[in-house]
A = this chain, B = another copy of it.
């Protein structure tokens, strides 16, 4: 494959994770090392920044800032939820993106994201090929949800689970100390459609005593009757109960619990309940089991908890970014870097490639046998899968004030070369 000289563009998309910047770091450091890549631009807020030609020159950032990405949570280049459809339906947007690439001599595009991003990248690759514009596109996997097809797991997942398992087992100690009064606690995990996160954080249950005592995922239909039974049984056995539940719990009809109406859809004033699954489960526990319940909703804190991130995850996130660049330099295009688990013990991972299209159209659900027959906790198989991913504590830098020091880009703007565009 002939060497291709030009600039690289990198963008981040979708929900932030603790380690998406580590992938960005891998991309940027590998680009800087190469001879063919003249500069690395970042798009402000993902594909939106490309459409708006809102670019900045990462090459001008200090090496300290670039290295500091590895210990900085969330998306330093900014992210977005701007959705591109088919090449036909979003033709104007796709054309615009290739125009911007051409105007700036962008020959390499690295897109760090989930399956929607891989879909966008796939279509861009097709359009560039149609137009005869020599462009190498590589996808870099990212999502706390761990639901990407074609890869053993996704960067972001390990750190999400390490933190959520830790905070759940810590909250479990609270319930344990106060069981004579605050007998139950519900912790709400992210995960709208897949139960990877809640199941993953189930590994905190190392002994009968350790929280979570019950785990519920969207893949297994939730019924109030079974839940009440589970809570009562656990309470009888341990005197307390900590429940870890996915935000996306669904009933037998596949409807989200939180979109249901009925006894728990309204509070005691008849107001529609504002919150989510945790509040609903708390209400069920208090009314149907007659015990006091608290709830914790870590929310976005769980996907940005750099202060207690998985070292394995941070390193793998960097690796997939770096491998994407190496592959593109070697002539590859239209693939996402994947993680292949060679062995569990010792844990060994290598990288591979999957066609963007296959990733775009896939979705990976939690295997049924990662959950027990009752559907209320994880199995050893799940534990074996998860544990290597949460190993090690990623180093961070603590400032003089006792809080973590995270970096920010200076964002050296790249001069515009195209007319204004309204997406």
Contacts and interface: CB of A to CB of B under 8 A. Distances in A.
B177 A301 contact: no
A403 B169 contact: yes
Given A74-B173, A296-B298, A299-B171, A310 B180 contact: no
B408 A401 contact: no
B170 A306 contact: yes
B299 A295 contact: yes
Nearest to A74: B173
Given A169-B403, A279-B274, A300 B296 contact: yes
Nearest to A201: B403
Interface stretch (A148-156, A221-229, A256-264, A356-364): A256-264
A215 to B, nearest CB: 15
Question: Copy number of this protein in the oligomer?
Answer: 2
Contact of A174 (B162, B165, B300): B300
A301 B268 CA distance: 27
B279 A264 contact: no
A9 to B, nearest CB: 18
Interface in A268-306: 268-269, 274-276, 279-280, 282-283, 286, 292, 294-301, 303-306
Contacts of A300: 171, 174-175, 185, 294, 296
Contacts of A286: 263-264
Contact of A167 (B15, B175, B305): B305
Contacts of A297: 295-297, 299
A142 interface: no
A221 to B, nearest CB: 23
Given A169-B406, A174-B300, A274-B276, 10 more contacts: A73-B173, A74-B173, A81-B178, A81-B181, A166-B403, A173-B304, A174-B304, A209-B408, A263-B286, A310-B402
